[in-house]
Amino acid sequence: MTGLILKRVVNLLKTFVFPLAVYLIILLITILMDKSGYMSSGAFDRIVRGSVLTTIIAYAIALPLSGGRWDFAPGIIIILAGITGSNLAIALGLGPVMLLVLTIVIAIILSVLEGILYLTMRVPTIIVSLGVVMIYEAISGVIFGGSGTQLYMHANLTVFSRSPWIYIVLLLVMVLFYYLLSHTKFGYDTRALAASPRLAVNAGVKEKKNIVITYIVVGALLGVAAVLNASTVLVTPASNLSSTSLMFSSMGPVLVGLYLAQFTNLSLGIFAGALGMNALSYGMVVLGIDSSLQTVIVGVFIVAFMAYTTNKEQLRALFSRKRLAPKTRL
């Protein structure tokens, strides 16, 4: 029993060593460069607070991605659901809880419609999702006169973006996401389909049902993300695939989180990945690095991380051979 607890503690530390290492390395750089602001409690709060939205979007991306389905629609669903839910809540005089419920329902509808198109057309999700993005972006420019939403101006509706509610929302989403994937038939079926779709279907897994439930869960996650996003920034209609930037901004935590998940679970792995990537991004802001260069650095970092994690066994074998190779005498 003690050994099992110790193993779990060690695995938990392995999961969160990535964000801790990123934070400490950048902290050391800021100290050496005499840059202030990164060591303060406010900086730590910004990193964690900024990781909430990123984590929830990353969950919505990782779920279909684990089944080999690339989806470009999360960004526009967040924008369109946020615009629709916020404007309806303001017009009807609803409270924050009803705003959250309404926005989640709208996001689920938008997500399930995409899923129905995918199941009906049976073409790759990358194609279906791009078509959906263009349609939803056009709708976002027409609905409510193309005015978007300024939910952040209504303080009574933005409570979920403030402490402590933002952390309560994150905790609830993390727990539910973990339970859904680890302790339900849907989670078992999802993992089976990810490992071997043909074997899973032959074993009795209903793939279409699993896909529909996946889009429902993704919609619920994106509904929560839509409320948090609309509570903090001005949400404007998207065009020319600009909404995909929201998705791509969370791809780093997804890719890092999928690797870290091997130590604990996908829920904690993605959260740790989001913390690490936000620590890196905020550190670059403190260091005064130009935004375009920040994008390059993040891209290089992700490529290097994926290259190492994908080929680490080969690298270890290579270094082991070099150490064991006999030294040639002159």
| Residue 94 phi, psi dihedral angles, 5° rounding | -80, 160
Give 245-286 pLDDT, tens digit per residue: 888 888 889 989 988 998 989 999 999 999 999 999 999 988
Return the bridge partners of 149, or none.
235
Q: Rounded mean pLDDT of 197-201?
A: 84
* pLDDT confidence of residue 322: 63
The residues facing 235 across adjacent strands are 149
Q: Residue 128: which pLDDT band, with cuts at 50, 70 and 90?
A: very high
Q: Where are any strands of DSSP class E within the chain?
A: none
Hunting for tokens 């049976």 — which residue is that? Answer: 122
pLDDT, residue 66, reads 78
Q: Please, are residues 275 and 48 in contact by the beta-carbon 8 Å criterion?
A: yes
Share of residues in the chain with pLDDT > 70 (%): 95
DSSP string over 84-95: HHHHHHHHHT--
**Residue 262 burial (CB count, 10 A):** 13
CB atoms closer than 10 angstroms to residue 299: 11
CA distances from 171 to 176, 177, 235 (A): 9, 10, 25
Identify the helix (H) or strand (E) that includes residue 72.
Answer: none
Instruction: Specify the length of the chain in residues.
Output: 330
Give the pLDDT of residue 327. Answer: 55
**Distance from C-alpha of 47 to C-alpha of 36, rounded to nearest angstrom:** 15
Q: Where are the domains of the chain?
A: 40-249
Q: Give the list of residues 6+ apart from residue 268 with CB closer than 8 angstroms, or none.
A: 12, 15, 16, 174, 178, 260, 261
Using one digit for the tens of pLDDT, what is the confidence trace for 55-90?
999 999 999 887 778 889 999 999 999 999 999 999
- Strands (DSSP E) contained in 71-139 are none
Range among 39-48, 159-168, 307-316 with highest mean pLDDT value: 159-168
Q: Show Cβ contacts of residue 222 under 8 Å, excluding neighbours closer than 6 positions.
A: 57, 60, 74, 77, 78, 81, 107, 110, 111
Name residues whose C-beta falls within 8 Å of residue 148's C-beta, 6 or more positions apart in sequence.
Answer: 83, 140, 234, 235, 236, 237
Residue bearing tokens 């199941």: 119
